[in-house]
Amino acid sequence: MNIYKFLNMKKIFSLFALIALAFSQVMAQDAVAGAVEEVSKTDGLAKTVGYYLLIFLLICVFIGIVGKILSVYDLTKKIQGKKEGIKWDNINGLIFAIILVVGLYGAYWSYTVQGAEILPESASEHGAKIDSMFYLTLIITTIVFVITHILLFTFAYRYKYNSKKKAYYYPHNNTLEKYWTIAPAIVLTVLVLMGFFTWRGITNISKNDMANAIQVDVTAHQFAWDVRYGGKDNVAGNKNYKLIGSLNGLNNLGLDMSDRKNYDDLKVTEIVLPVNKSVRFTLGSQDVLHSFYMPHFRVQMNCVPGMATYFQFTPKITTAEMRVKTDDPKFDYKLYCAKICGGSHYNMKFSVRVVSQKEYNSWLKEQKPIVTDDMKKEYKLAMKDNVAKSENKIALNN
């Protein structure tokens, strides 16, 4: 039996040697890469994924070896005829106590260090409501998290196995069951109702307010956003998925050229919005699910193939003001895709700028129509072709 255990240790040592070899390889490679790129870093190994993986494996092997050494020690004690070797129950109990303290400190660290990196003040009117819901949920779950974990680990430590103590048989308590069923049910009901009314408050918009908002039509596809503004009539013209790629490949959005409302629509390469003016985004997708996500405005909505979704909101802080607030002269609002939609999902970014009404007006004047002259030519040709075809049909029928 003991011999087998030693054999296992041999295996572990050879694994350890293997990992050490791989580790030195990574270090050597990094040294070469560093020399080629002439990196002036002198603090040694660049921290790659491989580096952390190897460190993790080394720690695992180290723990394994310590465990083996302890079990050998344990066995020799038993061979010598001593009844009790290592008191594992006490060690386990102690580990529980240590994990409680270290874990709670980790939670505190995460709240203070990572918590400080949270998004800045919301830049939209409805954003404050979303934030208050977020903070309320965070406060409640933090309180529950701390209390339950203190109880869990303290009990594991306090009531570890002891040969002198007999466990008390305590299978059921109706009063306790009532408390821990009813209390969370009330809290969750409040949170869910609050979410429901907040969401209704954000999305229930009168027809009048809908029509008065600036209309922006967004089409998502792998892996970019196509954005057009409604133009003079403030209405984005019709699209039809059957027309995607028509007009000799020029019609990549599938614009319905027979709809006159399309002709004044503007194609833009960045979203520019006037501050304190309501904007209504109509969202769609040409392929898979995407998600229209503008974190600073607390805006997120899925883009679904085959149906239109909407999000209307009012930005209230200009880009320039936000640069002062965040003390970051390079700060920019961004539109992201928040649905992992394929290989280049991370590339789906789009610039967003909030400006004064005056700046917005002058920017809008410079934007080009989405229907280009080439598209108009192709459309005329196609129409002529259609007329000729239908005339032929009539001639054949007669």
Interface with Cu ion (CB under 5 A)? 290, 337, 341, 348
Query: Which residue, 253 or 341, has its beta carbon nearer to Cu ion?
Result: 341
Give yes or no for a contact between 278 and 195, defined as CB atoms under 8 angstroms apart: no
User: 382 by DSSP, 3-state: which?
Assistant: helix
- SS (HEC) of 234-268: CCCCCECHHHCCECCCCECCCECCCCHHHCCCEEE
Q: How many CB atoms within 10 Å of residue 151?
A: 10
Cis amide leading into 223 (omega within 30): yes
Query: Which residue, 337 or 375, has its beta carbon nearer to Cu ion?
Result: 337
User: 370 by DSSP, 3-state: which?
Assistant: coil
- Least distance between Cu ion and beta carbon 248 (Å): 27
- Least distance between Cu ion and beta carbon 272 (Å): 22
- How many Å apart are CA 193 and CA 231, to the nearest integer? 39
Within the chain, what is the greatest distance between any pair of CA atoms? 114
- Least distance between Cu ion and beta carbon 344 (Å): 9
Give yes or no for a contact between 39 and 98, defined as CB atoms under 8 angstroms apart: no
| Type of residue found at 341 | C
- Least distance between Cu ion and beta carbon 295 (Å): 15
Give yes or no for a contact between 326 and 120, defined as CB atoms under 8 angstroms apart: yes
- Least distance between Cu ion and beta carbon 282 (Å): 17
- Least distance between Cu ion and beta carbon 261 (Å): 27
Query: Which residue, 282 or 286, has its beta carbon nearer to Cu ion?
Result: 286
Query: Which residue, 193 or 340, has its beta carbon nearer to Cu ion?
Result: 340
Query: Which residue, 71 or 309, has its beta carbon nearer to Cu ion?
Result: 309
φ, ψ (nearest 5 deg) of residue 90: -65, -40
Query: Which residue, 75 or 224, has its beta carbon nearer to Cu ion?
Result: 224
Query: Which residue, 19 or 304, has its beta carbon nearer to Cu ion?
Result: 304
- The gap from C-alpha 19 to its chain's centroid, in whole angstroms, comes to 34
- How many Å apart are CA 284 and CA 382, to the nearest integer? 27
- Least distance between Cu ion and beta carbon 265 (Å): 23
